Structure 1
């Protein structure tokens, strides 16, 4: 299954990575819903050293923008900088530390999270009228939908591997001729259990050599005794 959950299954970063959550906002994270209860201001006297350093960096960034260009970059027309219009003071600093209290909608204890933090890139504001699974009630896509999609992706990979012919490269699928350098890994096939020992072209074009090196890492972990043979494949860069 996918490592992260995304609203509607579309990989994206949340705007909460650079915009402080607002009280009353409904947010989703890893298929769970939370209500933002309150946002606390941290007094500057309590700021950590890393926050002070970020304040200095942000002030420098604002000064650089003023000195070197009067107009925003093209991307800033659509994604404005949170520092635009900031006067440089601690009290109005857009990235000043704050504490956020969240109440799980399913019940339980409140969560306390600091802001800003990179983790907020995966906490997504959702509309009060958001799509949910009619079967399990989880925000879409639910675990069952993600599992079905992942199973379909894995099946495509298996079918591709099963189509690799004898004496063919297990990366590009093309035949390995006598004139071409190749690398064969004895033992169990780690790409397709039950399949023959895989071979790879040693050419850099097409990614075959890189695929062989990546396979070798897994192969050495799975076959520590065989991997002790230093000259098993000959020169590594042949």
Structure 2
């Protein structure tokens, strides 16, 4: 005959199921089921913390090397190049006044009463001195003609200097004597600066009644302020017929 299960049997089954459920839950706590979950959580937190600490350590160790790789900016001024010493040129050598006389064929060949012969006198001053008055002086000894000593003596000549201002010829001093005139007795002259060049034009004529013969013409260059010659004199050959 079948057994009928009433409410009491149902309550018992429920109680047994509760006891079984409770026992299963107790076994899980006893064998570490719940603590295992906690351990996993703690391990994750420790791993994350270790990762952050490692990243910080790497960043800290990388910073000094980066700073070392970048050199600090220098505030010092650049060093100027050393001065180059250049040799000092020596002073120019001192030069003095020189003079030249240019004539046709290198001498004066005159004919009494004939045309005058022109020549030039050039003064080239040096760098050592300047002059306020330089005079060009002319002198000729008395002629000794074909007839013997003393024949044809006398002035018999006309010396002229070209005047650039007026464009004409002016009489110039021409001394005919057998003795030398001291430089202190001369006067006049024109200025001559350092390294200046001055050219003067002259012409000499033999008058119709003058002497004949040959005698050199001496051209002197005198500083009339210092009473002395400033250059060597020039001797010109001369003849008159």
The alignment's TM-score, normalised by the length of structure 1, stands at 0.18
Structure possessing the higher relative contact order (Cα contacts under 8 Å, 6 or more residues apart): 2
Structure in which a larger fraction of residues adopt helix:
1
Larger radius of gyration: 2
